[in-house]
Amino acid sequence: MVAVRAAPPRTAPPRSWRVAVPTYDRGPKPRRRAEFWLLLLACGITTACYALASLGQDGKLPLNLWGFLAAVLGLSLGAHLANRWLVPNATPVLLPIATLLNGIGFVEIARWNAAYASQQALWAAISCALYVLTLLLVRRSRDLDRYRYLLLLLAIFLLLAPVIPHLGLEINGARLWVHVGGIEFQPVEVAKLLLVVFFASYFATTKELLSIPSRRIGNHLFVDPRPLLPIAVTWGFALAVLGFENDVGFAMLLFTLFLALLWTATGRVAYLVAGIALFVVGALVAAHYFPQVHERVQVWLDPWPYAKGNGYQLVQAWYALAAGGILGTGFGLGAAGATVPHLTTDMMVAAIGEEMGLIGIAAVVCGFMLLVGTGLQIAQRSRTDFARLCAVGLTVVIGFQAFFIMAGVLRILPLTGITLPFMAYGGSSLVANYVLIALLMRLSEEAESRPTATAAAVAVAA
């Protein structure tokens, strides 16, 4: 008789034998599907606002309503398809929020100035094209890090361009514009993005030298200030140029950017305190020696004595906000365009507050808060110091630019003259902000595109 031994039962290998096999999702990305539906919602809201503005103003639907909807959908879906191809794992929030803010701003621009609306529509198409082009050219964030000094030279040239004879233009007391052929644009809008890249790259390289005390004076160790000198000189030069051009808003924005990146890179509160002290001293000096700053501070402290002069714009903007109340007058039913100068450029907040009310302004503020929160989340999840600092810098630019102009209209700060991102009329601002969103999308893609490890049980022969 032959004894037959039963085969031992097959059991799962021990935990130590299991090998993590990286797998990749090859199907449609859930984030892109969420982005698609959010974009459809943004386009629907924009089209509804456009129709309501026409009903309120003319009592009938606009003749080009379906063409408007097709244009909005075409631009949005074109950018969305680029995201599916180039940044499939990036956050789905940034592009829909930018589309919605841009759409509401366009409705207000079309409501008050048809000529501006046609130009803004052209700039929106150019902005979407440059958004895709940025994603195509910047395939890795380290490519930007590699050319930091070249980008710095380009930024300096763009800052100096408005003061070049026969090239720069002075409008409303500020020399910010460049005239090339039939095109006028603000080169500082592009320069701010290049400075973000340079500051992020420099601080990522020198953060240990700037944060770890290594210089002994007596019995105490202090941080060696020498690594800070080159970038401080660059920053001071940029501020001096902006001051010469009477660009108070972007000077404040550049100061905030520099201080935020320095604090993020080093984590030392001493830099933050010193920066705030320098800001106070600089503000006092500018208020005394720069006529434009002095006038704006006077209007900020008490605008009513200047209600028929320099304070006219601010006072009329307050009347528009008061007329809007909580719920607003409704699209097409406001009257701010007849009383508030430069409504669609400097005072877009007043136009929104009148026709959309306090609720509308709160919704816009929430939109910018979502942009800032998403940008900081990208920075938190970034895997390199340069990517983290670059995401923080881009977020600071978009967040504080919106804060400065809204705070100026609401008299929290003096008016700075910068535009509300995505919403106010201005081609150079719109293009720069869409490029900014594209860079954040690239950083988000790098932070999120990691292989997901799944435990695959692999049998190992005993």
- pLDDT of 459 strictly over 50: no
Please tell me the distance from the alpha carbon of residue 19 to that of residue 415, in angstroms, as a whole number: 61
Range scoring the smallest mean pLDDT among 16-30, 243-257, 403-417, 435-449: 16-30
Highest average pLDDT, of 61-75, 231-245, 272-286, comes from 61-75
Give the per-residue pLDDT at 23. 44
Segment 395-453, tens digit of pLDDT: 999 999 999 999 988 888 888 778 899 999 988 899 999 999 999 999 999 988 765 44
**Confidence bin at 228 (pLDDT 50/70/90):** low
**Confidence bin at 26 (pLDDT 50/70/90):** very low
pTM for this predicted structure: 0.86
Region 62-74 average pLDDT: 90
Give the per-residue pLDDT at 291. 74
Segment 444-453, tens digit of pLDDT: 999 887 654 4
> If you average pLDDT over every residue of the chain, what do you get?
82
Range scoring the smallest mean pLDDT among 135-144, 162-171, 189-198: 162-171
Can you give the residue ranges of every domain in the chain? 29-448
The type of residue at 128 is C
Contact 248, 286 (CB under 8 A): yes
- pLDDT of 179 strictly over 90: no
Query: Cβ atoms within 10 A of the Cβ of 346, count?
Result: 26
Give the per-residue pLDDT at 428. 87
Phi, psi of 415, rounded to the nearest 5 degrees: -60, 135
**Confidence bin at 229 (pLDDT 50/70/90):** low
The type of residue at 82 is A
Give the per-residue pLDDT at 15. 46
Segment 39-57, tens digit of pLDDT: 999 999 999 999 999 998 8
